[in-house]
Amino acid sequence: MTRKLRAEQTRATIVKAAAELFDKHGYESASLRDIVTHANVTKGAVYFHFATKEDLAHAVMDTQHTSFSRSMADIDRSGYSSLEILIRATFEMARQMGRCSIARASLRLAMSGISLNRPLHDAVGDWMKNVAGRLDDAMREADIDTEVEVEGAARALVYFLVGSRVAGSASRPAHEMGREVAEMWRFMIQALVPEVRRRRYLDLVAGLER
């Protein structure tokens, strides 16, 4: 194994350990000492890659952003309609939340309101813009009713996704988020999609929920 590969693997181990602690205890309660112990590496190894805990928070957010962007690129290349892309993206987000501590920690960091020298990436704001753009495209494709107020619908969708995870984190396992996303889409499809197109998307949601 080359020195570069070992360094990359060590860095990934540290980021994963930090994400697990941020997810479980929150950013402010997880110390660098805790992260060193949890990652089972030396303090020097952590400081070689990250000067501060703040740098680790950014690394967690950046790792999740890269992972989800790759998933979105795969969905985009599949030739689906804009609304189907959006539906599949929300289920993919739920899947990542259920399986990946980095995804869960990123959401917790995004919603924490912590004050850092370099502000964290505005993931929620980016989601809002992306969802609004997809809904605009879906309206042009006649999959969304022309009377729908797109910005309001985008806010409702994103707030549901964020709120469902935050409100349910203490009492429900993360893998149940897929079921909750399906419940959300059944409601949203009834509210947003013209009647002649609803069955297609309701069937899609039912298939993705399984």
Please give the chain's pLDDT, 210 residues, in tens: 688 888 899 999 999 999 999 999 999 999 999 999 999 999 999 999 999 999 999 999 999 999 999 999 999 999 999 999 999 999 999 888 888 999 999 999 988 888 888 888 888 889 999 999 999 999 999 999 999 999 999 999 999 888 877 666 544 565 677 888 999 999 999 999 999 999 999 999 999 998
Query: Quick one: pLDDT at residue 197?
Result: 97
Cβ 38 vs Cβ 29: under 8 Å: no
Token couple for 190: 């009834």
Query: Quick one: pLDDT at residue 1?
Result: 66
pTM: 0.89
Token couple for 89: 């993206």
3-state per-residue secondary structure call for 121-170 = CCHHHHHHHHHHHHHHHHHHCCCCCCCCCHHHHHHHHHHHHHHHHHHHCC
Q: How far apart are CA 123 and CA 56, in angstroms?
A: 16
Between CA 179 and CA 183, with CA 182 as vertex, the angle to 5 degrees is: 90
Query: Quick one: pLDDT at residue 168?
Result: 61
Cβ 143 vs Cβ 81: under 8 Å: yes
